[in-house]
Structure 1
Amino acid sequence: MGTRRDAAARAAADDGVSTLYAVQWRPMVRLAWLFVHDDLLAEEIAQDAFISLHRKWSDVQEGRATAYLRQCVVNGARSALRHHNVERRYLDSLRDSTRRLTAVSAEDSVIATAGSADLFARLQTLPDRQREVLVLRYYLDLSEAQIAETLGIAPGSVKAHAHRGLAALRIQMEERP
């Protein structure tokens, strides 16, 4: 009896996730890309979110699957960014020891200056929560309630993080046009 019930639950999960996958795959990859700015990593994060949804299909409340996916993508992007930051700090420490031996090239200075003018680079300087709120709000055009649900915070916190993030970007734009 339990085997039939398990098979029926798996079939329901397969059907539900397949249907959602057809509609939400691209938006979830896009959401992940907005955080990690890497095509392959964004696809991996989105795929992991769908796998997680399939595993938890019976636990996810009806009509909440898209929000669950968004939350998985945001959490996956956070993990990927934390991993990237650890790698970057390690590589920076290696570069610092190498820079003591060599001078910085003119090309490196120009590339660093040109890269800082990009809005994406400016977004990366914001605290994680502010960056997440701004990406969800202005790139995905989610409402405050949807953002709050995705990030697991109060709607008032969404407003505060958006306000602070926009203010910080405005200051950056005025300081470095």
Structure 2
Amino acid sequence: MSRIEADAALHAFVEARRTALFRSAYLLCGDRDEADDLVQTTLVKVVASGRRQVRLDNIEAYTRKTLINTFIASRRRFWRREHSYGELPDHVERAATDTETGLMVRAALGRLSDKQRAVVVLRYWEDLSIAETARLLGMRENTVKSHAARGLAALRAEVQEEFA
């Protein structure tokens, strides 16, 4: 494959998968602007890598792994550890619509650890198998199962608390 053909294939991939990557990034971050930055950073890395290597065997898997690794690395930065909050409400009102439920689930996702959130998004949003998720995140399969179980338990507890 020539350099021009490889660039065209890479461009077509970016055009076709950008929206799906944004959805996954949004579930990871919980913030539209941060998700957009995450996708942008990921795609820059993928394009730069694609230009160094004329052929990537599985660009989809490579892009997912880059997205997850970039997300986790961004959470390690010092400025990400500090959060400022205004006054918090005494209690949250019961969610009445699907939109509110979706917001509640995304907020609950945001309270999971970074790795738990990555596992939950890959397993249950991206619908990857345990083996694929483990390979993508560089974890053992048992670690993926553990993160998934704990993440789902935390999500269930928050949803039950909301609807109790």
TM category (shorter chain) comes to 0.7 to 0.9
Q: Which residue in the other structure is 2:69 paired with?
A: 75
Name the amino acid aligned to 2:20: P
Partners of 1:50 and 1:69 within 8 A in 2 = yes
The CA deviation at 1:70 is 0.7
Identify which of 104, 107, 123 aligns with 2:109.
Answer: 123
SS in 1 for 2:127: coil
Q: Equivalent residue of 1:113, what SS? A: coil
Q: Which residue of 70, 92, 102 corresponds with 1:113?
A: 92
Matched, 1:169 2:163: no
Identify, as 1 or 2, the structure richer in helix. 1
Q: Secondary structure at the match of 2:139?
A: coil
Aligned residue number for residue 20 of structure 2: 27
In 2: Cα distance, 1:80 partner to 1:138 partner: 22
Question: What is the TM-score of this pair, normalised by structure 1?
Answer: 0.70
1:133 aligns with 2:119: yes
Root-mean-square deviation (CA, aligned residues, Å) is 3.0
Q: CA deviation digits over 1:124-155, x for unaligned, max 9?
A: 22222211111112222222232223212222
Are 2:24 and 1:36 equivalent residues in the alignment?
no
For structure 1, the 5+ residue unaligned runs are 1-7, 96-103
Aligned to 1:5: none
* Cross-structure match for 2:80: 85
Q: Distance in 2 between matches of 1:173 and 1:80?
A: 28
Of the candidates 41, 51, 63, which is equivalent to residue 44 of structure 2?
51
Verify the 8 A CA contact 1:60 1:68 in the aligned structure 2.
no
- TM-score by structure 2 length? 0.74
Deviation at 1:38, TM superposition (A): 2.2
Q: Please identify, of 60-69 and 139-148, the stretch whose mean Cα deviation from structure 2 is larger.
A: 60-69
4+ residue runs of structure 1 moved beyond 6 angstroms?
A: none
Higher relative contact order structure (alpha carbons within 8 Å, sequence separation ≥ 6):
2
CA contact (8 A) 2:25 2:38 kept: yes
Counterpart Cα distance in 2 of 1:137 and 1:22: 24
Aligned length: 153
**Bigger radius of gyration among the two:** 1
